[in-house]
Structure 1
C-alpha cells in the first residue's frame, strides 16, 4: 500500500510538470468497456387536450391496460380516445449507473397525435437490447413545440410538438455489469486513431510508471497494467487519466460542405506548383413578346409573336499561380485576391486534387 501511494505521488508530480499545450488522456481516449447503453420502451401518454392519435394499436394498448386494472370494454367498441397517444420512450443508461438513480427520457409519438403538450406518461418499462428491463419511466412531459390551427384548415407549428422530455423521468432498476474491475489491465481506446499518438501515450505512461507498464495493440488501443483492488484501481485511474500527452497532428484534409458552401482547410495542406484560372460564364435570357395588330378591314385576330433575346457574357478570368509547398496562409491569400465565391473555390480545389497538385484528402459532406 505504501508503494502504491508513493507511485501515485510520483505520477501526480509528473502530471503537474507536463506541457501546458498537451491534452489530458481523458480527453484523448475512453476506457474500453465503460460505455453508455441505449434503452427503449413503448407506452401511453394520457391527459392530452384532444391532440391524441387514432391509431389501431393505441386502442389495443388502451384495452390491454384497462384489462390489467380489471376493466373490460365491450368487444367491437372503438374507444375513440382523443386524449391518449401511443409513444416510444428512449433513454441512455450511463456507465456505473446504480438502481435507484434517475435519468432523463425522451418521449416521441408514433401515431398521428398532433401534440403531446400537457400529457402524462404512464408507467413504461425500458428495455435493453437483451430484452431485460433496466428502468421504469413515468411523469409529466415538457414539450417545447407548439401548434395551432384555424377552422379553415390553416395551421402553424413551432418546433416539434409531438416530442417531449421528462427530466429524471426514469428510475434505474437494474445495474449493467462493467468489465472495469476485471483483469490485470485497463485498456484505453483513442477517440481518433493515430499510430503516433498511441506511441506517445505509451511513452508518457512508461516514463511515469516504469518500463513495460503500458503497451499499444494498434493505432487505437493502449493497455496499462493496473492493480486488482477496486479502490486502488480507482485512485490509479484518477491519476492516469489526468496525465497529459501531446497528440499527433491530424492528416492533411480539406473538408467541403456542398450544402452550406463551408470549406475547411487543414493545417498541413500543401499544393505543388500549379496555375489556375477560373472564369464566370453568365447566360441571360429575356422574353419580350410583341402583340401584332391585324388589319382593321380583315377578320384576323391579334397575334402574339415571341421575341427572345439571349446574351452570353464571360467575365475576364484571372489566373493565379501556386508555387511548390504552398502553405495554408498562401492558399487563402491567393483565393481572396481572385475574389472567388465558395462554389468557385470548391471547383478549384477539386480540380487541383484531380491534377495531383493538392497534397491532402478531399472530403465532401
Structure 2
C-alpha cells in the first residue's frame, strides 16, 4: 500500500454534534464606514553594512538621499555619492478604524532597488499616505527581520528569510484621523465578510428579535440596514456593542480549497457527493449501490451492518475497492481514499473529475 502523505482538514468536523453552531455578528460582519485603511509611502533605510543600493543603478535612491541631505542643510550638488549603506524602500501600514492622534501602528518595509539586505538598517522618518493622497501617519525606526520561524512545540528552524523585507513594530505614529462620527448617524449598515442571502436574513432577524424591533432588514446578500430606535440613540455605543455580541447561525456555500503544493484539502461541512464510480490505476471507488459488495457479502445484508466507509480487497481482481453508501459526504470519501494511501495529486484529480461529471456540488478553489 502506498504511503499516506495528504493532509485533510474538514471545516465543521463537529457539525454533527452541534448542527446549529452559532457565531457572533462581529465575527462575520463589519459596520460600513468603520473599517481599516491602507497606507503607503516611500522612504530611506540607512546604516546598512554595505548591503544597500548601488547608487549607479538606482537613481531614485540617489535622488532621495540628495533631497534628504539638502533638507538638513547639507549641499551635495555635484558630489559623487558612492555609499552602499542606504536603500530606497516602500513603507506600508494599516490604519485601524477609529485610530486617534498618537496611536502606534506596525510598519512593513520592502526594498525598491538592488539592496541585498535590510538587516541592521534604520528607516528615516517617512510620511504614509492614504488613497486620498493625505498624510495619515509617519514611520521611523529600526528595521527587524525574522530570523526564525516556530514550527511544532518549542522547536525552531531557520526560515527561508527574504532579507529585503522587514518590519518595524509600532514604528508608525498616527498624525491625522479619519473623520467618522457615530453619534451623527440615524441608521447603520452591516457588511457581511462573505455575502450570502440566507446569512443576511438571519442577521436581520436576530437583531429584530433581540434589540431593534422591526427596524433591521437585509438589503442584499452583503448588506443589512438597521434604523436606530429613537430610545437607543442616546446610548449609541451600547447599542452597537449589544448588536455585535448577538449570535447567529451563518450559512455558507459548499466549497473545497486545495493547496497543490502542500497536498492540503480543506472541505466545508456543506459538501456532499452523489452516486458515482471512480477507477484510477489499481483503485476503484464506488458511491451508492455496488454489485461487487453484494457479491461478497450478499444483497440481503442489513443496511445497519454496512459501514459508511468499508474498504476491502477484491482478491479476484487484485485491486483495492472502496465502498461508500449513498448519502456519504466528501469527508467520508477523502478519509476512505487516505486509508488506501492515495497520493495528493491523485486525490486532487479525483475531486476535479467528480466535479466535471456533476457528482460533486461544490466550488473548488485551487491555490
Among 232, 242, 247, the residue aligned to 1:244: 247
Query: Could you give the per-residue CA deviations for residues 208-254 of structure 1, whole angstroms, max 9, x where no partner exists?
Result: 13532211101111111226898621111111111111222x23233
Describe the shift of the 1:95–1:265 C-alpha distance in structure 2 as closer, same or farther (beyond 3 A): closer
CA shift, 1:326, in A, is 2.7
SS of residue in 2 equivalent to 1:95: coil
Name 2:363's counterpart in structure 1.
Answer: 361
Pairs within 5 Å for 1:1-365: 21-54=21-54, 55-75=58-78, 77-145=79-147, 159-178=161-180, 180-226=182-228, 232-248=235-251, 250-279=252-281, 317-320=319-322, 323-328=325-330, 330-332=332-334, 334-336=336-338, 338-365=340-367
Q: Deviations over 1:332-361 (max 9, x none)?
A: 454345443222222222222222222333
Give 1:157 deviation, angstroms: 9.7
Distance 1:126 1:141 in 2: 16
Q: What's the CA shift for 1:158?
A: 5.8
Aligned residues, how many? 303
Unaligned ranges ≥5, structure 1: 1-18, 147-155, 282-314
Bigger RCO (CA 8 Å, 6+ sep): 2
Question: Residue 20 and residue 194 in structure 1: after superposition, are their counterparts in 2 closer, same or farther (change >3 A)?
Answer: closer
Q: Deviations over 1:254-280 (max 9, x none)?
A: 333222222233323333222222215
Aligned Cα RMSD in Å?
2.9
Structure 2 residue runs without a partner (length 5+): 1-18, 149-157, 284-316
CA separation of 1:115 and 1:227: change in aligned 2, threshold 3 A: farther
- Determine the C-alpha separation between the residues in 2 that align with 1:137 and 1:348: 50
Contact 1:91 1:105 in 2 (8 A): yes
Larger CA deviation: 223-232 vs 109-118: 223-232
Contact residue 33 and residue 179 of structure 1 kept, 8 A: no
| Distance of 2:192 and 2:272 partners within structure 1 | 27
Pick the structure with greater CA Rg. Answer: 1
Name the TM-score, length of structure 2 as normaliser: 0.74
Task: Give TM-score, length-normalised by structure 1.
Answer: 0.74
Greater mean deviation of Cα atoms: 34-43 or 331-340: 331-340
